Amino acid sequence: MLKSKSPGALAFAKLIKNKPAIFGLVVILLAVLVAILGANIRKDKTLMANEMLLPIAAQKPGFKVTMLKINKGKAIETANFIEQLFFGGAQNPYKYIPINKYRFNGDEIFYNEYSGQGEQLLPELKIKMVQAAYGISASVYNSNNQTITYTNKNGIQQSISQQTLKKIIENTNISTEKYVLGTDKYGRDLLSRIFAGTIISLSVGLIAVFISLLVGIFMGAVAGYYGGKTDAIITWFINVIWSIPTLLLVISITLLLGKGFSQIFIAVGLTMWVEVARITRGQFLSLREKEFVEAARALGYKPFRIIFKHILPNAWSPLIVISASNFANAILIEAGLSFLGVGAQPPMPSWGNMIKEHYGYIVLDKAYLALAPGCAIMLLVLAFTLLGNGLRDALDTRSVN
C-alpha cells in the first residue's frame, strides 16, 4: 500500500529543491549563529564591541599592527562563555597601545606609539615591566640587575627575574593584531561591530514580526469571521493606517515613545500588522463558510475556539510567507531609523548607525566603512526575501511538481 506524503512533507520537499531559498536559509542560520555566540567569536569581546583605539582609526582591511597591552590593575572578572552570548560582553582588563617599535632595557619597556606615517616614529616612551604585566604601581617595587621584587595586589611581596618577566610580557602583553575588515573612524574593529550588529537586526525583526502577528491576526480574524459592521469598522481602520507612509508612521511612534532600542520593537511592530490583518481577513472570509466551520458551529463551539483552533491553522501558509517578508522589512526600517538618529543610539552597533557614522567616507578611498554594514543589511534582507519566495512556492498547493 502506497503511503501519501503529508502537506508539510510535500512543502519541505519542494523547498529543499529551491536553491535560492536554501541559500537564504543558510545565510539566516549563519546570522543566527553569529548573534547567539555574541562576543565569543568577536575579536573585540567588549560590550557592544566598543574598544576605541584612535591611533589606528579608519585603517584599511587586512591592517596589522603590533599591540602593547598594559594591565589596568583593576579587579575585572573575565566573562565566561555563557555571559558573552547574545548581547553579552566583558570589560577589557588591558589598555591597548598600538606601537611601531619596542625594546627592553633593565626593568623597563621602551616603545614608540603607532604613528601611521610609515617609518616616521613618535617620541619614545617607557613603562615598568611590572606595571605592564600586573598593573602594579611603579612605587611599590624595586629591582636590581637580575631580580624584580614587588608587592602584589594582595599585599604580598614577590620576586621574579627580569628574564622571566620579559618572556611573560612578550607572550602575553605584546601581540600582532590583524583587522580583517579594518577599523572604523574611532579605531574599533569593523568586523566585530558588524557581528555585534547582527543580534540587533535579528532581534528587532523577530519581536516586530511577533507583535505584528499578534495584532494583525486578532484584527483580521475578528473582521473576517464576524463580517458586517465589525468588518466594515476594522477594514476602515486598516485602510487609514495603510494610507500612512510606513517610515513616517514609525518615526511618529518612535518620537512618541522616545528614542531607544526597546522602542524600536514596538514602533516597527505596530506599523507592520496591517498587511498581516489584511491577509488574515481574506483567509477568514474564504474559510468561514467551509463545511468544517459549519460543523463546528453546529456542535455549539464558541467563536473563540472556531477562530483559533479550526480556521487559523488552515490560514497559516500565507501568514508564514508574509512574516518572512515583514522580517526583511523590519531590518530595513530599523537600519533607516538608526541612520536618521531615532533608532538604536550610539555606541550600540546598529548597522544603520554604522552607515551614518561613515557615509562621508564614500567619496574618499575608504568607502568600505559604509559599504560593509550596507552589504550586511543587503545580504540579510535578500536572504529573508529569497526564503519568503521559496516558502510561497512550497506552500502553494496549486503548483505542480
Other beta carbons within 10 Å of 189: 27
Q: What is the pLDDT of residue 139?
A: 61
Q: Which of 179, 214, 244 is the last residue of a domain?
A: 179
Alpha-carbon gap, residue 160 to 297, rounded angstroms: 86
Provide the residue range defining the domain that includes 145: 64-179
Against a cut of 0.85, is the pTM above it? yes
Same domain for 125 and 150, yes or no, is yes
Same domain for 330 and 365, yes or no, is yes
Q: Which of 200, 179, 211 is nearest to 260 (CA)?
A: 200
Q: What is the pLDDT of residue 269?
A: 87
Same domain for 376 and 263, yes or no, is yes
Q: Which of 138, 157, 179 is the last residue of a domain?
A: 179
Q: Where are the beta strands (DSSP E) in 21-91?
A: 63-71
Is 286 within the bounds of a domain?
yes
Is 320 within the bounds of a domain?
yes
Which segments of the chain have a pLDDT < 50? Answer: 1-2, 400-401
Same domain for 172 and 205, yes or no, is no
- In the chain, DSSP finds a helix count (H) and a strand count (E) of 13, 8
**Secondary structure (3-state) at 313:** helix
Same domain for 102 and 162, yes or no, is yes
Tell me how far the alpha carbon of residue 178 is from its chain's centroid. Answer: 22
Same domain for 145 and 254, yes or no, is no
* Whether 56 contacts 98, CB under 8 Å: yes
Residue 257 identity:
L
Same domain for 148 and 227, yes or no, is no
Same domain for 108 and 69, yes or no, is yes
Q: What is the pLDDT of residue 77?
A: 72
The length of the chain in residues reads 401
Same domain for 210 and 172, yes or no, is no
Alpha-carbon gap, residue 220 to 86, rounded angstroms: 34
Is 24 within the bounds of a domain?
yes
Is 174 within the bounds of a domain?
yes
Same domain for 197 and 158, yes or no, is no
Is 57 within the bounds of a domain?
no
Same domain for 158 and 266, yes or no, is no
Same domain for 257 and 369, yes or no, is yes
**Secondary structure (3-state) at 110:** strand
Instruction: Tell me the CB-side half-sphere exposure of residue 172, using CA atoms within 13 A.
Output: 16
CATH number, residue 349: 1.10.3720.10
- For the chain, what is the domain count? 2
Q: Which of 121, 155, 179 is the last residue of a domain?
A: 179
* Whether 136 contacts 153, CB under 8 Å: yes
Kindly state the cell numbers that stand for 289.
463558510
